[in-house]
Chains A and B, each alone.
Chain A
Amino acid sequence: MSDRPAALVADGLVRRYGDRLVVDHASLTIEPGETVSLMGASGCGKTTLLHMLGTLDRPDEGRLELGGRDVSHLSESERTGLRREGLGFVFQQSNLLPELTARENVALPAWRATGRRRDALARADALLTNFGLAARADARGHVLSLGEAQRVAVARAIINGPRLLLADEPTGSLDSDAARKVLAALEAACSTGTALLVVTHDATVAARCQRRLMMVDGRVETEPLDAGAPGR
């Protein structure tokens, strides 16, 4: 392990919706640059956990550290700042703002973070070129294929150089070829030290991660070792 603090440490996170316990004392740690998959049956609490880890939702109990900083009790604006600078998200679908082009979608978080539009667009162009999407830079979301839109979403998620990338079934709606390209984009994103937690139902996706976790009835468990070697 390096001297850098863990990208994420979650300790005993609990989330209830009314009387229903959705996340039950979930604990996990992700090191910088590490890729981790989280699998589990539908409704087991994966997305809820992901949202708590991404500070989109607050746990009822437990402690959360991101990059060595305790973020459990941050104010709303501090959490927003954290998302802007330290986290990236890729959701299953409808990731893009339909009124913007691919280039503008990618550039937006950087423009918001730095206030420099030209720099943000230049960075967006560089990312789109790296992801093979330069020709689609001026296309709006509804014109892009699902696979292209997901790769644009990955580019957008990493434009501010986040510590942690959270992906919620990023290949769930894609054919195998498009899924392969999205996975390649995610892996490339992690090549600069960004950690990745990917929620998936797809064993192929999980197999490409360095570590695999299972979620069962709201609890996080390590997948049995015979499930396969890390894919990276």
Chain B
Amino acid sequence: MSSPAPAAPRSRRSILRPGVALFLARRGLRESPLSTGLMIAAVAVGIGFEIPSAANLRGYRAELLTQSLSNGFGDVRVRPRRGLYLRDADAWAERLSRIPGVVEATPVVSAPASVTGKGHTSSFGLLGVEPRATHHPYRLVSGHPLTEGDRDGILLGSSIAQRLDVGVGDDVELRIMLSAYPRLVLDDAGYGVYPMTIRGLVGFNAADSAFVARSFLVAELGDETAASAVLLHGRSHDDAPSLAVAARRMAPGFEVRSWLDDSAYLRSSARAVETLGGASWLLGILAVGIPVMALLYINTLNRRRQIGLLTAMGFSRVDLFVTFLLQALFLGLAGVVLGGIVALALVRYLVAHPIFDWQGFVVRPVLALTDVGRTAGAILATTVAAGSYPAWRAARVDPSRILRGIE
């Protein structure tokens, strides 16, 4: 037989080439397709659940704030400190709208009222709004908006309409308590009675309210510059506290409150959504990390003989740790890509088929790149972290015991 061993290589490397580790990691995963598939599936399910879940919660929070603020009472509310109405409301609105970050300031005026239709009567708070404004304290669910100078049109809350059994185009009788003085409440002279036509129905937050053109209501109240409040709408709901500070500086004689101070329910709801999101995120991470760690650990146990052989060949503990850690990284990357595709498909489906749709309150997922990046990054990191213990165990295998079949 000819000499079997060609000249041994001269240059020696003590540090493992990444190519060798990548090769072994890839081949190791291919050797156990079932456990590899399960681990990728665990990661993919985590991503596929977590991203749509975060998007839904973000969508819910956004809709809640939109309905309550953009289609509600604004990010900052400016009200009189004393009395029911503030004077020169349009002038104040114009000044307040110049605060940087404020996109619109609209005066609204309110009065207690009741409406009668088809023999039924319902009481509520009536709001006079600016029809030409971009932001209104309601969202129209059917019918048409009010027009400037509309004196006989009303937008009725969908719950009131349901109680009265009336709809768009029906005529109703509106009774407005024009006097703000309690001693006049029982005095018929304090009421104005108006025949109105329902122009449209409004939902969710405004379902138990009604709206008329402010010009009509203030004319009846006897002061055409009056408003109960000026509502400020900012570019971002999160800017409300700073806008409130600026508004307070501009209008020190008024009561100025951001929505965070003015609506404890809304603030708590928004925080609850954030807390739920955080808890769900954490559970998702654990739900990925635990099975991946278990499966990688089992995989390591099953490959102890190979680990022993690699050790005999001169693979160091660091080499083995890196190789097994790379496996976890591969799994994480594959799972993130697969789960990302599933998540995006699910988000698209949920946009078309919202999980909640009631009286104009529609929860559609809002996909934020920060959520995707944070979730993908965290799950990838979790997978690698979950793989580090099995990798460490692989690196600590006693080759002598393994190769003798003792372990």
Report the count of interface residues on A (CB-CB < 8 A).
Answer: 56
Contact flag A99-B319 (CB < 8 Å), given A51-B403, A56-B399, A130-B1:
no
**Which residues of B have CB within 8 Å of A51?**
399-400, 403-404
Most buried by B among A47, A56, A191: A56
Chain B stretch 1-24: residues in CB contact (< 8 A) with chain A = 1-9, 11-14, 16-17, 19-20
Cβ contact within 8 Å between A184 and B314: no
Cβ contact within 8 Å between A80 and B9: no
Surface stretch bound by A, among B25-33, B198-206, B208-216, B368-376: B25-33
Q: Is A136 an interface residue (CB 8 A)?
A: no
Closest chain A CB from B103 CB (angstroms): 62
Cβ contact within 8 Å between A155 and B4: yes
Cβ contact within 8 Å between A111 and B400: no
Cβ contact within 8 Å between B315 and A112: yes
Q: Is A211 an interface residue (CB 8 A)?
A: no
Q: Which of B1, B6, B31, B319 contacts A126 (CB 8 A)?
A: B6
Cβ contact within 8 Å between B316 and A77: yes
Cβ contact within 8 Å between B13 and A189: no
**Which residues of A have CB within 8 Å of B4?**
127, 130-131, 155, 158, 185, 188-189, 191-192
**Which residues of A have CB within 8 Å of B8?**
159-161
Q: Is B250 an interface residue (CB 8 A)?
A: no
Cβ contact within 8 Å between A188 and B1: yes
Cβ contact within 8 Å between A127 and B6: yes
Surface stretch bound by A, among B88-96, B120-128, B303-311, B357-365: B303-311
Cβ contact within 8 Å between B310 and A97: yes
Complexed CA–CA distance, A155 and B313 (Å): 12
Cβ contact within 8 Å between A188 and B3: yes
Q: Is B312 an interface residue (CB 8 A)?
A: yes
Determine the residue in chain B with the shortest Cβ distance to A128. Answer: B4
Chain B stretch 25-57: residues in CB contact (< 8 A) with chain A = 27-28, 30-31
Closest chain A CB from B55 CB (angstroms): 39
Contact flag A161-B7 (CB < 8 Å), given A54-B312, A97-B306, A188-B1:
yes
**Which residues of A have CB within 8 Å of B403?**
51, 56, 91
